[in-house]
């Protein structure tokens, strides 16, 4: 019994009794669409790394090339920045969707044209690590420096400081370092709920907006169960329909949808995203919002309790 008092994981959450989020306008569901901008910040010996990138490419998960550049992987990432990013942004603009950008600092530094487009869109821009790498093996001092550098890079590129954080491959130190840095309204390095929630870091309230790796186009290249844009559409449609029905039953929820320029931005896949937006936008009672707006709403409607 004593162990349960110090166990560091929260397996209960809202324990089946989540609060009514009171979404604006009485919405039945809040939908957060996220576009990851990573190309140019991935593993590469040009960036001082010991190996080339090897995950989330159309080559599937493979063994990384050591001490060498991987021309195929570089080219696949290049497609995202050169073509896919613009195709996805154009679709979001056409559908008047308010989205969120997960931005890798180094990637924005290498793609000023994308930074201009993001700034013009007004999309909430979240820190996605200064590098798109696995921070499990990065020492604490370096990770701390990368957090600060990521904030500076996004602020310089977009013209406004980021207020959200998402590493994706965090270290055991990441959340503490993010809280120590300060300046963030919310943290997305979690996948454990359908609603935002409060936790505590160093005795201070820390807001979590869970993200999603299942409603995510990454499944198209992880060697798993998605092969086509229709697979992505069908799964995300079913997730939306379930959460929407729960909202109709008086239990409104939040849905996150993860996109990558080099994945969903391909011509053979973008139709799946278009059909998903068609489906979502045919429904009344949907709040399509940036994560900044969702975080501010949660803070206003559900401020932290002393126990948070």
Residue 228: inside a domain: yes
Residue 307: inside a domain: no
Our measurement of the distance from residue 194's CA atom to the centroid of its chain's CA atoms, rounded to an integer in Å, reads 14
Residue 11: inside a domain: no
Residue whose entry in the numeric block shows the structure tokens 């993860």: 258
Residue whose entry in the numeric block shows the structure tokens 């604490």: 140
Would you mind telling me the total number of residues written for the chain in this entry?
308
pLDDT for residue 59: 86
Residue 122: inside a domain: yes
Contacts with 224 (C-beta within 8 Å, 6 or more apart), sequence order: none
Residue 16: inside a domain: no
pLDDT for residue 202: 85
Q: Domain count of the chain?
A: 1
Output the six-digit token pair for 252. Answer: 């409104």
Dihedral class, residue 283 (left if φ above 0, else alpha if ψ from -120 to 50, else beta) = beta
Residues in the chain, pLDDT under 70:
1-5, 61, 307-308
Residue 1: inside a domain: no
What confidence tens digit (pLDDT) does each residue in 127-153 have?
A: 999 999 999 999 999 999 999 999 999
Give dist(CA 207, CA 190) in Å, integer.
Answer: 11
Task: Give the residue numbers spanning the domain of 173.
Answer: 21-301
pLDDT for residue 5: 66
Identify the CATH number of the domain in which residue 103 sits.
3.20.20.370
H/E run at residue 144:
helix 140-158
Q: For residue 212, which phi and psi values (nearest 5 degrees)?
A: -145, 130
Output the six-digit token pair for 236. Answer: 């995300």
pTM of the predicted protein model: 0.95
DSSP structural state of residue 81? I
Q: 194 in helix, strand or coil?
A: coil
pLDDT for residue 308: 56
pLDDT for residue 1: 41
Give dist(CA 208, CA 227) in Å, integer.
Answer: 31
Find residue 100's DSSP bridge partners: 34, 124
What confidence tens digit (pLDDT) does each residue in 229-246 have?
A: 999 999 999 999 999 999
Residue 162: inside a domain: yes
């Amino acid at each position: 019994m004593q162990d349960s008092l110090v166990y560091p994981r929260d397996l209960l959450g809202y324990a089946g009794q989540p609060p009514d989020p009171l979404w604006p306008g009485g919405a039945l569901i809040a939908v957060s669409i996220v576009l990851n901008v990573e190309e140019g910040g991935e593993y590469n010996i040009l960036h001082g790394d010991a190996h080339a990138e090897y995950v989330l490419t159309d080559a599937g998960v493979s063994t990384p090339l050591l001490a060498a550049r991987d021309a195929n992987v570089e080219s696949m990432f290049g497609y995202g920045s050169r073509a896919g990013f613009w195709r996805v942004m154009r679709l979001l603009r056409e559908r008047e969707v308010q989205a969120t950008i997960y931005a890798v600092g180094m990637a924005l530094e290498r793609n000023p044209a994308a930074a201009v487009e993001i700034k013009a869109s007004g999309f909430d821009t979240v820190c996605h690590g200064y590098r798109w790498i696995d921070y499990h093996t990065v020492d604490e001092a370096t990770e701390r420096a990368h957090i600060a550098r990521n904030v500076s890079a996004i602020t310089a590129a977009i013209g406004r400081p980021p207020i959200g954080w998402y590493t994706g491959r965090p270290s055991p130190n990441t959340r503490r370092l993010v809280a120590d840095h300060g300046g963030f309204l919310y943290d997305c390095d979690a996948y454990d709920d359908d609603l935002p929630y409060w936790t505590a870091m160093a005795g201070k309230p820390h807001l979590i907006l869970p993200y999603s790796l299942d409603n995510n186009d990454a499944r198209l290249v992880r060697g798993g169960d998605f092969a086509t844009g229709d697979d992505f559409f069908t799964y995300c449609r079913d997730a939306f329909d379930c959460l929407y029905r729960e909202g109709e039953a008086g239990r409104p929820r939040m849905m996150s949808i993860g996109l990558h320029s080099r994945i969903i931005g391909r011509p053979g896949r973008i139709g799946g995203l278009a059909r998903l937006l068609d489906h979502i936008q045919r429904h009344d009672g949907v709040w399509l919002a940036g994560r900044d707006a969702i975080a501010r709403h949660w803070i206003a409607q559900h401020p932290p309790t002393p126990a948070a």
